[in-house]
Amino acid sequence: MSGVTGRMGMTQHLIRSILAIRQQGGVALASGERVMPDPILVGRNADKVERLANAHGIARWTTDLDAALADPEDELFFDAATTALRADLLIRAMEAGKHVYCEKPVAETLEDALRVVRKAEETGRKNGIVHDKLSLPGLIKLKRLRDSGFFGRILSVRGEFGYWVFEGDWTPAQRPSWNYRKADGGGIILDMLCHWRYVLDNVVAPVKSVSCLGANHIPERWDEQGGRYDADADDAAYATFELEGGIVAQINSSWCVRVRRDDLVTFQVDGTHGSAVAGLHRCFSQPRTNTPKPVWNPDEPQPLNFFDHWQEVPDNQAFENGFKAQWEGFIRHLCEDGPWTYTLREGAKGVQLAELGMRSWAERRWLDVPELEV
């Protein structure tokens, strides 16, 4: 496990996934056997890695990646380190005979992402990429509504993602500083359009074209040591997508917005027969029969409370942590050929859309999303 001293790698992948799987007694296979993950933590800072291992009772850790990759007993390489290093790390791991699983984006550029995909297909290594948004309870409910025909003909999607990330001068930032430096692989377009590709493709309809406007709203920030730096990466993206079937999707992504909505991310889907709004956990729907009939009158206060006309989609199952559920699925894929569709090729599609989004911003025009050619 590489890159697990960082916030996401440590919290979601190590503690809430691998350690939680160990605590429950491993992953159950169809045969009745159970697979118990035995992690070795790998990082460049020996003090950080050792402290993390000791804090969670993990016996194995190292700063020597080559030695870790050379051990035939360790079959899987996982990476959640910085995007700039990921492509080369994945290729090294596959060349060493490892299967691979990683955070997104799979690479900074489509060229590098396709290089990784080709290596996976040449070596035959099993491979996967994290697609955590699809395991959110809110989006699971939203997809169920789509699959049931609730929406009728889907017309549009509106997404709002983001929150205020503090600059770091008087209040410490709640995201790492590399996110805001181009040279370190930062930028919200690369980060979030990779997510929106698999969300739209799987929850609504495949993406056919994109128009994107990026912004560098806050060009000066302070890092983890309190030092000022030039934050030259895009920190907001305003994107419009055309989906299959003529559906229009608009998604704003910003680290420079203060939240006044149901959640840090919300998706509204409008259709001829009904609409729904989903956040991370909750989802509300409004069928055609319950739709109010407002009248535009700017001279009087609005008499309707529009929130009253929505019904919550119930929690009719216990939802697992999404990262853990995906780890379990990938482990079953490794050990018994269980189903797995979110390969590095799917990850490359996300990088493709992000790259097209950046080109659209630079060229100020719509761009079609071609079939991915490896």
Average pLDDT, the chain: 96
Q: Considering only CA atoms, which of 75, 112, 113 is closest in space to residue 96? A: 75
- Bridge partners of 42? 2, 62
Residue 350 CA to residue 348 CA, distance in Å, equals 5
> What is the structure's pLDDT at 53?
97
What is the percent of the chain where pLDDT is above 90? 96
Query: For residue 316, what pLDDT band results from cuts at 50, 70 and 90?
Result: confident
Mean pLDDT value of segment 202-222 = 98
Mean pLDDT value of segment 321-334 = 96
* 138-189 tens-digit pLDDT: 999 999 999 999 999 999 999 999 999 999 999 999 999 999 999 988 999 9
> What is the structure's pLDDT at 374?
84
Mean pLDDT value of segment 329-333 = 97
The DSSP output letter for 256 is B
CATH 3.40.50.720 is right for the domain spanning 134-318+352-360: no
Phi-psi region of 246 (alpha: psi -120 to 50; beta: other; left: phi over 0): left
Q: Is the pLDDT reported for residue 128 higher than 90?
A: yes
| 113 close to 86: Cβ distance less than 8 angstroms | no
Query: For residue 213, what pLDDT band results from cuts at 50, 70 and 90?
Result: very high
Residue 2 CA to residue 79 CA, distance in Å, equals 5
> What is the structure's pLDDT at 185?
87
* 238-295 tens-digit pLDDT: 999 999 999 999 999 999 999 999 999 999 999 999 999 999 999 999 999 999 999 9
Q: Is the pLDDT reported for residue 82 higher than 90?
A: no
* Domain boundaries, given as residue ranges, for the chain: 7-132+323-343, 134-318+352-360
Residue 36 CA to residue 27 CA, distance in Å, equals 7
| 37 close to 331: Cβ distance less than 8 angstroms | yes
> What is the structure's pLDDT at 248?
98
Superfamily of domain 7-132+323-343: NAD(P)-binding Rossmann-like Domain (3.40.50.720)
Mean pLDDT value of segment 101-128 = 97
| 19 close to 10: Cβ distance less than 8 angstroms | no
Residue 186, burial from CB neighbour count under 10 angstroms (0-12, 13-18, 19+): buried
> What is the structure's pLDDT at 298?
94
Mean pLDDT value of segment 20-40 = 97
